[in-house]
Every structure is written in C-alpha cells, then in structure tokens.
C-alpha cells in the first residue's frame, strides 16, 4: 500500500525515479506534510528541493492557502528584512509608504526559504522569533504582529559547518531542523538517469514538435557514469541541447563525444593508501570503478612480473630479441601496461578520462631463449586474454573467500554496495 501511495505521488507531481534514496526522501515528506513542523531540506544544487517543498504544502492542511518561494541568496542584505516582514512609511530612505512582508501576506500558508544559509545574521534573529512565538515586527514599527505561517527551509551548504564558523545561528538551525529531508544527488541514483532523460526528451519533442531523441546502450552508459555536478537541472539542459542540435534521433556515444565532450570528463577516485579508493565525497563506487581498480592492480602485477622476467633473463644469460623486433613482431606489447591505462584514462598521476567504447586487448608475447633467429615459437598457443566479466568474477570470488562469505565486509573491500554484490553473486553463480 505504501508503495502504491508513493507511485501516485510521483505521478501527481511529475517525480521520475525509483531509487531507494529518492523513495525514502519522498516517504519522509509525505509523513511530515500533514503536520505543522518546520522542515529543513538539504541537497546539492539542482536536485529538486523546491519540488519537495511544494509536495509538502500540497499534502498539508494549508494546501488551499498561499505558497511562496523566497530565494534568500537573491535578495540584497539591506532589503531582505523588508521583503520578509514588511516596513512602515519613512522607516528608511525610499520607503514612501508602508509595505506588507511575506510573513504577513502568506498568513495561514507556507513559506519556502531557499538558500537559508545565505540569510544575514540579523534576519536570522527575526526568523527565530517567528518560529518560536509566531510574532514579527515590521521594519520601523514598534508594535509586533502575529502570523501563522509554516516555514520550509532548504540549503545546499552544510549548516552545521556554518554554525561552527559562526555564520549561522545554532538555535535557529535546531529550530529549522525539526524534520530533516535529504534529497539525493543524481550521481547517487544512476538507475534514474536514463528514465529522466527519456522524460525530458519526450517533453522537448512535444515542445518543439519533433521526433523524440533516443540513446543507444553506450550513450546511456556515458550518461550513467558522468558525475552531473548540476544534477537534474544539468541533465535537462543536455536533453534540450541534444533535442535541438542533433540531426540524428538516435544518439550514439560517438555523437555525444563530438557534441558534448564534457560528458566524458571522469573523476574516478585514485588509490590513496593501497587499501581502497578515496573519493571526493567518500561515497560508494559503481561497478566500473571496481573494474578499474582490478585493472590498476593488474598493471602493478604486470610491472612486477616484467621486472622478475628481465632479472631471470639476465641471471641465466639468456638471449633476448632486439626491442625493435619486439615491437615489430608484436605491436600490442609495446608499453602494453602503460598504453592500456592511458587509453582507458586511468592514470596514477592525472585525473582519468573515460572512453566507454575503447576495447583494445594486449597480446601476450612468447620468447624462445634458445632461438637465435629472434623469432617467436609459432608452435606455442597464445593464451586468450581474460574478459572483464572473468576479471570481475575472480575479484569477487577471492574477496568472498578472504572474508569467509561475509558479504558486508566483502562489499566494503570491493567498494560496491551489498545489493550490487548480491546481484553479482547470482550473476556469476558464486
């Protein structure tokens, strides 16, 4: 029943997505909506915090009264008190008459204060009084007035850090944070990216009266692996640009690279202490990050193997073909381990770049130390290179064995979620 209720709310308010984090935030919003409790909505810029405030208002007893959204960061510091609480005639230069503020005009309704972290300190004191007693004073007045307004605040900054730095009142923070709701970023819900893109593509096709664009599998992979710093707002812009600028209605990964190369800027974490990855936000990493971790470990093993091999050749006085012949007879061997990682964009010393449609393989080299012709023994069969699935399966198998089947520890070691690990165990029949 709860799931049906969430689906009806998503359909009513145009919410697209099925990620558990999004569902949890929506469920909290629906539970707190019928009350008059203050709500603090947090999340990165562009995740849709204002949409959550409208959901709370529409599901509350105040739904028939006025709702107003105020961007605290867009109002100059000298006029924000007048905007919110009003002013008397002559209270300051330019005040030719009295003016009602939002807390007076929206009496009985809901005020959404976006970017609450940008509110000046003196305005914070006025707001705290409204939240505690329902009273406010117009600028230049001496008499207080009563108001019945529900306050929903939102911020994309860490207010706890602002409190520690003295930039935000601690008492106001706890008064606003009665019910916290965190809206997940787009990179935390990659399973929703393709769904959102299809919705936006359909909307723009209807708006511009054209056929809707579609993504092929590799193009979908590019979008799912992009970090989306602008979140849903950025994804919507990308869908609109592609709808208008693309001649073909089927968007391929190559077409994306030509028209929007920024989508290939990857910010994969790099090894920090040998035990794992240290990401920018310390979150869970997806399957592709796991594969790059395995490849990085393989590169180190390959370098050690090459070092041992050349020491063995030297200590046993074996003959080696000239390096030029090496490269001529097996072009794929030349700087194999380094070039493979350069092609994939994974590098120890630089920010990696991601090319999902690169698929080159390195051919193994077989050397006959007793053959003076510097040719390779054609009688030896070339071992087939491991596939990515085999690499991933082996990594999961070894990690499960290391932790004696304890999935939580294994998932932490592999830097994936338990849910992903469980799916992989079923996929590989481990």
DSSP symbols for 305-365: HHHHHHHHHHHTT-----HHHHHHH-GGGTTHHHHHHHHHT--SSS--B--TT----PPP-
Report helix angle 388-402 to 418-428, nearest 10.
Answer: 110
What average pLDDT score do residues 386-392 get?
73
pLDDT at 185: 96
Which of 34, 87, 84 shows the shortest CA–CA distance to 61?
34
Task: Tell me the pLDDT band of 365, cut-offs 50, 70 and 90.
Answer: very low
Whether 266 has a pLDDT exceeding 70, the answer reads no
pLDDT for 364: 45
Rounded Cα–Cα distance for residues 304 and 292 (Å): 19
Mention every residue, 6+ apart, whose C-beta is less than 8 A from residue 38. 131, 150, 151, 152, 153, 175, 176, 177, 178, 179
Q: Is the pLDDT of residue 331 over 50?
A: no
Residue range 205-259, pLDDT digits in tens: 999 999 999 999 999 999 999 999 999 999 999 999 999 999 999 999 999 999 8
Q: What is the C-alpha to C-alpha distance for residues 290 and 285, in angstroms, rounded to an integer?
A: 7
Confidence of residue 401 (pLDDT cuts 50, 70, 90): confident
Identify the residue with better confidence: 419 or 142: 142
Tell me what pLDDT residue 386 has. Answer: 61
Give the tens place of pLDDT for each residue, 285-300.
455 666 666 776 777 7
Average pLDDT over residues 272-293: 49
**From CA 109, how far away is CA 151, in angstroms rounded?**
9
pLDDT of residue 396: 85
pLDDT for residue 220: 94
Q: Cα(207)–Cα(228) distance, rounded to whole angstroms?
A: 24
Structure tokens at 387: 């596939």
Q: Is the pLDDT of residue 99 over 60?
A: yes
> Residue 332: pLDDT above 50?
no
Return the pLDDT at 27.
Answer: 95
Give the pair of three-digit tokens for residue 377.
């023994």
Provide the residue count of the chain: 430
Alpha carbons 338 and 214: distance in angstroms, whole number:
36
Q: What's the pLDDT at 276?
A: 41
Burial class (CB in 10 A: 0-12, 13-18, 19+), 174: exposed
Domains and CATH numbers, the chain: 2-184 (3.40.50.300), 187-264 (1.10.8.60), 277-385 (no CATH)
Give the residue-averaged pLDDT of 94-118.
94
For the chain, the average pLDDT equals 81
| Nearest in space to 61 (alpha carbons), one of 37, 28, 85 | 37
Whole-angstrom distance, CA of residue 307 vs CA of residue 185? 45
Per the model's pLDDT, the better-predicted residue between 345 and 307 turns out to be 307
- CB pairs under 8 A, 24+ apart, for 304-310? 306/337
Give the tens place of pLDDT for each residue, 45-68.
Answer: 999 999 999 999 999 999 999 999
- Give the residue among 146, 145, 140, 147 at the shortest CA–CA distance from 87: 140
Average pLDDT of the residues in 394-416: 82
Q: Say how far apart CA 290 and CA 423 lie, in whole Å.
A: 14
What is the structure's pLDDT at 318?
A: 63
Q: What band does 264 get if pLDDT is binned at 50, 70 and 90? A: confident
Helices marked H in 33-76: 49-58
In angstroms, the Cα distances linking 249 to 13, 222, 236 are 28, 17, 17
Of the pLDDT bands very low, low, confident and very high (cuts 50, 70, 90), residue 426 is confident
Tens of pLDDT, residues 175-210:
999 999 999 999 999 999 999 999 999 999 999 999
The pLDDT tens digits of the residues spanning 407-425 come to 888 877 877 877 777 778 8
pLDDT(371) > 80: no
Segment 82-111 mean pLDDT: 92
Does the pLDDT of residue 131 top 70, yes or no? yes
Is residue 176 within 8 Å of 131, Cβ to Cβ? yes
pLDDT at residue 289, rounded to an integer? 61
C-alpha–C-alpha distance, residues 98 and 95, integer Å = 7
Task: Determine how β-strand 214-215 pairs with β-strand 179-182.
Answer: unpaired
CB of 355 closer than 8 Å to CB of 302 = no
Average pLDDT score over residue span 346-353 = 45
User: Distance between CA 364 and CA 361 in Å, rounded?
Assistant: 10
The neighbouring-strand residues paired with 42 are 155, 182
> Is the pLDDT reported for residue 85 higher than 60?
yes
pLDDT score for 317: 64
pLDDT band at 5 (very low <50, low <70, confident <90, very high): confident
């Amino acid at each position: 029943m709860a799931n049906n209720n969430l689906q009806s709310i998503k359909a009513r308010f145009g919410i697209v997505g099925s990620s558990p984090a999004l569902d949890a935030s929506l469920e909290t919003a629906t539970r707190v909506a019928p009350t008059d409790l203050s709500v603090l909505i947090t999340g990165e810029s562009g995740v849709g915090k204002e949409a959550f405030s409208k959901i709370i208002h529409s599901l509350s007893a105040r739904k028939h009264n006025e709702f107003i959204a105020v961007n605290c960061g867009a109002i100059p510091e000298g006029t924000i008190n007048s905007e919110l609480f009003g002013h008397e005639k002559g209270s300051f230069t330019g005040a030719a008459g009295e003016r009602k503020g939002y807390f007076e005009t929206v009496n009985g309704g809901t005020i959404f204060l976006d970017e609450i972290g940008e509110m000046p300190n003196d305005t914070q004191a006025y707001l705290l009084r409204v939240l505690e007693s329902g009273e406010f004073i117009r600028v230049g007045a001496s008499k207080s007035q009563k108001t019945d307004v529900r306050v929903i605040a939102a911020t994309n900054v860490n207010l706890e850090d602002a409190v520690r730095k003295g930039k935000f009142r601690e008492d106001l923070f706890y008064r606003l944070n009665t019910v916290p709701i965190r809206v997940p970023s787009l990179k935390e819900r990659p399973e929703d990216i393709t769904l959102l893109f299809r919705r936006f593509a359909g909307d723009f096709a209807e708006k511009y009266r054209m056929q809707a664009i579609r993504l092929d599998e590799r193009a979908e992979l590019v979008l799912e692996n992009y970090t989306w710093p602008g979140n849903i707002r950025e994804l919507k812009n990308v869908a609109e640009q592609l709808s208008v600028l693309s001649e073909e209605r089927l968007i391929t990964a190559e077409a994306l690279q030509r028209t929007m190369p920024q989508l290939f800027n990857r910010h994969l974490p790099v090894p920090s202490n040998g035990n794992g990855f240290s990401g920018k936000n310390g979150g869970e990493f997806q399957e592709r990050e796991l594969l790059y971790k395995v490849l990085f470990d393989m590169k180190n093993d390959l370098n050690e193997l090459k070092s041992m091999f050349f020491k063995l050749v030297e200590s046993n006085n074996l003959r080696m073909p000239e390096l030029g012949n090496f490269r001529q007879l097996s072009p794929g061997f030349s700087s194999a381990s380094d070039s493979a990682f350069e092609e994939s964009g994974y590098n120890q010393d630089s920010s990696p770049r991601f090319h999902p449609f690169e698929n080159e393989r390195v051919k193994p080299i077989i050397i006959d130390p007793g053959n003076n012709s510097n040719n390779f023994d054609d009688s030896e069969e070339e071992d087939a290179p491991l596939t990515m699935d085999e690499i991933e399966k082996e990594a999961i198998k070894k990690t499960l064995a290391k932790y004696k089947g304890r999935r939580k520890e294994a998932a932490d070691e592999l830097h994936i979620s338990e849910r992903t690990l469980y799916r992989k165990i079923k996929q590989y029949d481990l």
